[in-house]
Amino acid sequence: MRDNWKALAGAHKDPWVWDRLPVAPGGRKPADSLYPGILRELEKKLRAKSKIDFDSHHQGFASYVDAWFYRDNDDFRDRRLGGKNCFAGLAVTLWRFGPYYILGEYPKSLGARAGSSGLPSFEGIDHFPTPAVRKLSTAAENCLAENDLVRLHKSQLAMPLPASYRGIPSVLYHEKPKLFDAIFYWLD
């Protein structure tokens, strides 16, 4: 896969190309057309419920698809938030412009009319304080690898960007930008 990336990057002006055509030939549309099927498969394999946001959190634009998986049982219940509809879950953050993703854990409060949610964060990458979520992350990584997706780890995304980098005015942006900030961003 990585050799294919190198060959494709050399053949295109844009080094961020995907060898599985995440875009229509000749187009530059995000990879969203591939992700629904992959995420449905992941939900089945994990035997989990999910909350998936393809709509950039309903406003602005996010460079990622935010998918969150949990099971409605005590192993996933998050007592820190209180209430019977508060869960720790597996956050699968898929980059829209290539075959990369990150994993982490964050809680959600689910309600009939309202709820709360977390956003991808550099600090949350590869962090799984809940054993049931950690176990889910291993199964998710296997399924995503079968679909030619590549997991990025916190150590890879910690690379500082040059001081000249002006970046994208993202809600997720750090004071000292890292590679994470250049890849995973949300414009509100």
Q: What is the pTM (predicted TM-score) of this model?
A: 0.79
Mean pLDDT for each consecutive 10-residue tract of the chain (188 residues)? Answer: 38 41 45 84 96 71 89 87 81 89 90 59 92 96 92 92 70 73 80
Question: What is the structure's pLDDT at 170?
Answer: 63
Q: What is the distance in angstroms between the CA of the first residue and the CA of the last residue of the chain?
A: 34
The structural domain count of the chain equals: 1
Identify the domain containing residue 13 by its residue range. Answer: 2-187
Question: What is the structure's pLDDT at 13?
Answer: 40
Question: What is the structure's pLDDT at 86?
Answer: 87
Tell me the angle at which helices 131-146 and 35-46 cross, rounded to the nearest 10 degrees.
130
Count of CB atoms situated within 10 Å of the CB of 177: 18
Question: What is the structure's pLDDT at 12?
Answer: 38
Question: What is the structure's pLDDT at 10?
Answer: 39
